[in-house]
Amino acid sequence: MSWKDIVKGEKEYTFYLEQIEKIENMLERIYDDIEKAAVDMTEKTELSLEQARNIIKNIQKDTINRIEETLQEYKDQLEFESSGEGLQ
């Protein structure tokens, strides 16, 4: 394995780590927004906090699912890269 392959592998590994961090931060912000919206909805309606959360999560379900699928893809690719197979 040449040094170019090692550098390329390191760059790809770093890329996937950075993308995973960004996606995890995005998910965290979405869940924070859901919680804030649920609290607001509870104050304005007679719904319980849990009911409000479920309604909002259901509205955001497709977006959350796509983001979580992308996160898993990046984690799988990172595992592949770190196994050494991605360097070949």
Residue by residue, pLDDT tens for the chain (88 residues) are: 677 777 777 888 899 999 999 999 999 999 999 999 999 999 999 999 999 999 999 999 999 999 999 999 999 998 887 776 654 4
pTM of the prediction? 0.78
Position 2 scores a pLDDT of: 77
Terminal C-alpha separation, the chain: 8
What's the DSSP call for residue 84? T
Picking from 3, 1, 23, 5, the residue whose alpha carbon sits closest to that of residue 13 is 5
